Structure 1
Amino acid sequence: MEEHFHINSPLVESLGMTRRLGTPVYLKMESAQPSGSFKIRGIGHLCQQMASQSKGIVCSSGGNAGMAAARVARSMGLPATIVVPSSSPPLVVQRLQEEGATVRITGQVWDDANAEALRLTETEGLTYVPPFDHPLLWEGHSTVITEIAASLGQNQKPGAVVVSVGGGGLLCGVAQGLRAVGWMDVPIVAMETVGADCLNAAVKAGRIVTLDDITSEAKCLGAKTVCSKAFEWSRSAELRVIPQLVGDLEALLAVETFLDEERVLVELACGAALAAVYSGVIQRLQAEGRLPSPLAPLVVIVCGGSGINMEQLANLQHKIRRPN
């Protein structure tokens, strides 16, 4: 039987969000995972399937996938090399090293780090662990929905599920999970920040596009190209995906409000999902008739984040509130 590296994370009602929305809002607290984010679900599952006989793993990451890969590798007794772009906060590098990983800093953005990780796979015979684009990752991430279904019970189905989208791995896992529990009529509100909006850009263009650059401070949403499976889901007749954008400031305000109200500090990337309620995105979708009103309970996946502490939050506040 497969060992799980993730925990069944708490599903808790947010009274503050419920009050704002006028319908119960449940938070799936993936910030409580051992690696700090949902990534450990898929990466744990993939490593068990692919890396048990490996001489080591290599993962390209802006932070959270790397933290999950390092934690899983340490648990499996495998060496881990994590390739991060120079945009990753020093805090992330430090935490990866504390997990026992070898850290290489390559390039400006995730795409550069990924090219180096693929090179190491060839030259050093390491097992490549992709951060978001692999069926085993999505299968692992899908457990977030099976847990939500078990917690809510037979008689309660969400009105919608809110997720942050970076490369699209969580979106694919959530879609797969909705199919597994028979909830394909539950829409997914897919949140991105302006400047890290590869899904929104693809949906608008009607094809997968590559962003010129990541200009958002939500670096963990910083894939320039969304994975093709996530784009497929966004166009699927089987499932309704509603892509939405917020600015970095809205995501930051959501992080701050969440810290005040729920006493949990999450990354800006996670703030994009929280902003769906705090910035009125869900309420606007209801007013536009794109979500029903009244709405059945809303579930927000609090994807978490390992690259945040009070110093990093202060840096973000300075950059976003007082840009050059």
Structure 2
Amino acid sequence: MKLHIETPLIESRAMSVITGRSVWIKLDALQPPGSFKIRGIGHACETYLAQGARRFVSSSGGNAGLAVAYAGRRLGVPVTVVVPETTTERAKELLQLENAEVIVHGISWQEANAFAQSLVGASDAFLHPFDDPLLWQGHATLVDEVFRSGLKPDAVVLSVGGGGLLSGVVEGLHRNGWSDIPVFAVETAGAASFHAAVRAGHTVELERITSIATSLGAKRVCEKAFQWSKNHRIHSVVVSDQSALSACERFLADHRILVEPACGASLAVAYENASELESFSNILVVVCGGATSTIDQIREWKSSKHAP
């Protein structure tokens, strides 16, 4: 049973006109649980089920947990998701809609994650939100689909949180013979753990997450994502919360799809015609999605002092 769907790949006319180049969007916001996460998490859940797992346990303030809950419901496996106190009511509602047991613990994902791991019994499988080779293998199917479409972009733009999507996309580029295509890895200021790692020459832990794009809120990017930065052309880009929020509103108007600020970060690079895109003519933007923000929330954040 394949738990993810093949998502549309279309040209964004609005972004193409703004940038003066062809901008293609891979619409993973249309995955059943609302984000790209189901690609890797679905693959991992199927693998662990085949190995005898009787329950899935996850730690996630949003989209990873939703993907685990969706996969568990489809596969007939009970799911427990531990979320931090910062998790939105909307996210908790969506998790419960997928029949997951939701436990609120800790003020950060790190605390929720430690508690989730303490719950894992002998017949349980733990689903990490971003740091698992099975996830990267599954996320790489996004590139497989682009490859089969016949479109070869000359650059890929995507958002980075913990680095699972970045690791999967670069793996997908390499397994399809596209190791020459550079990737622009976009984060918001206040959640830029990949940018910090690139600057330091090794992964580092951020003191705290101050961005409203909480889906990007991994204090330390996974080691694999950083290692790829040494073996593939990956350019780190940091945008403001306001840029990400504006991009969410513009994308909703242009494509009638609502995405989270975490996804808005990569869209902002195209909407603001960032100088980094100057030497490219055929750009692929991964619309990674995100199901836990409402348009009212996005507008509230945009007008508040919390979004610099």
Please give the alpha-carbon distance, in whole angstroms, between the structure 2 residues aligned to 1:158 and 1:216. 30
Q: Does 1:309 align with 2:294?
A: yes
TM score, norm. by length of structure 2: 0.96
Of stretches 304-313 and 38-47 in structure 1, the one that deviates more from structure 2 is: 304-313
Q: What residue in structure 2 maps to residue 195 of structure 1? A: 190
Displacement of 1:321 in angstroms is 6.9
Cα distance between partner residues in 2 of 1:130 and 1:321: 29
Query: Displacement of 1:188 after TM fit?
Result: 0.4
1:69 paired to 2:54: no
CA distance, structure 2, for counterparts of residue 322 and residue 231 of structure 1: 27
Q: CA deviation at 1:125?
A: 4.6
Aligned residue number for residue 180 of structure 1? 175
Q: Does the residue aligned with 2:45 lie in a helix, a strand or coil?
A: helix
Amino acid at match of 1:209: V
- Give unmatched runs, 5+ long, in structure 1: none
Question: What is the CA–CA distance in structure 2 between the aligned matches of 1:320 and 1:98, rounded to whole Å?
Answer: 32
Contact 1:249/1:321 (<8 A) preserved: no
Query: Partner of 1:100 in structure 2?
Result: 99
CA offset at residue 106 of structure 1? Answer: 1.1
**d(CA) in 2 for partners of 1:51 and 1:83?**
20
Aligned to 2:163: 168
Look up the match of 1:89: 88
> 1:320 Cα shift?
4.9
| Secondary structure of the structure 1 residue equivalent to 2:220 | coil
Q: What is the aligned partner in structure 2 of residue 33 from structure 1?
A: 31
Cα pair distance change 1:183/1:112, threshold 3 Å: same
- 1:21 to partner: Cα distance: 1.3
Q: Secondary structure at the match of 2:120?
A: helix
Q: Output one character per residue of 1:248-268: Cα deviation in whole Å (capped at 9) or x when no partner.
A: 001011111111111111000
Q: Quote the offset at 1:213 in angstroms.
A: 0.4
Task: Report SS of the residue matched to 2:157.
Answer: strand
Q: Following TM superposition, by how much is the alpha carbon of 1:75 offset from its aligned partner in structure 2, in angstroms?
A: 0.6
Deviation at 1:286, TM superposition (A): 4.5
**Between Structure 1 and Structure 2, how many residues are aligned?**
307
Aligned residue type for 2:259: V
- Alpha-carbon shift at residue 316 of structure 1 (Å): 2.0
The question of whether the paired residues in 1 share the 8 Å contact of 2:153 and 2:284 is answered with yes
TM-score when normalising by structure 1:
0.92
Alignment deviations for residues 166-195 of structure 1 (CA, whole Å, 9 cap, x no partner): 000000000010001111110000000000
Aligned pair 1:148/2:141, yes or no? no
Structure 2: distance between partners of 1:23 and 1:279: 13
Query: Does structure 2 retain, via aligned residues, the 8 Å contact 1:199–1:231?
Result: yes
Question: What pairs up with 1:109-258 in 2 under 5 angstroms?
Answer: 109-122=108-121, 125-151=123-149, 153=150, 156-236=151-231, 239-258=232-251
2:276 maps to which of 285, 299, 310: 285
* 2:282 is the counterpart of 1:297: yes
Percent of matched pairs sharing the same residue: 46
State the shift of 1:88 in Å: 1.1
Long gaps (5+) in structure 2: none
Alpha-carbon distance between aligned partners in 2 of 1:173 and 1:188, rounded to the nearest angstrom: 12
CA distance in 2, matches of 1:232, 1:193: 21
Is the partner of 1:242 in helix, strand or coil? strand
Q: Counterpart of 2:233 in structure 1: which amino acid?
A: R
User: Which residue identity lines up with residue 240 of structure 2 in the other structure?
Assistant: G
Q: Secondary structure, in 3 states, of the residue corresponding to 2:304? A: helix
Which residue identity lines up with residue 260 of structure 1 in the other structure? A
Q: Output the CA distance in 2 between the equivalents of 1:74 and 1:164.
A: 28
1:11 correspondence with 2:6: no
- Residue 30 of structure 1 aligns to which amino acid in structure 2? D
Cα drift, residue 312 of structure 1: 2.3
Question: 1:281-319: CA deviations, max 9, x gaps?
Answer: 2xx1245xxxx2xx2310000000010223322332243
2:190 and 2:266 map into 1 onto residues whose CA distance is 15
Provide the C-alpha distance between the structure 1 equivalents of 2:40 and 2:305, rounded to a whole number of angstroms. Answer: 32
Which of 191-200 and 105-114 deviates more?
105-114
Query: 1:121 touches 1:128 (CA, 8 Å); kept in 2?
Result: yes
| Counterpart residue number, 1:58 | 57
Runs of 4 or more above 6 Å deviation: none
Compute the displacement of 1:76 (Å).
Answer: 0.7
Aligned to 2:268: 275
Q: Is the 8 A contact 2:211 2:307 kept in 1?
A: no
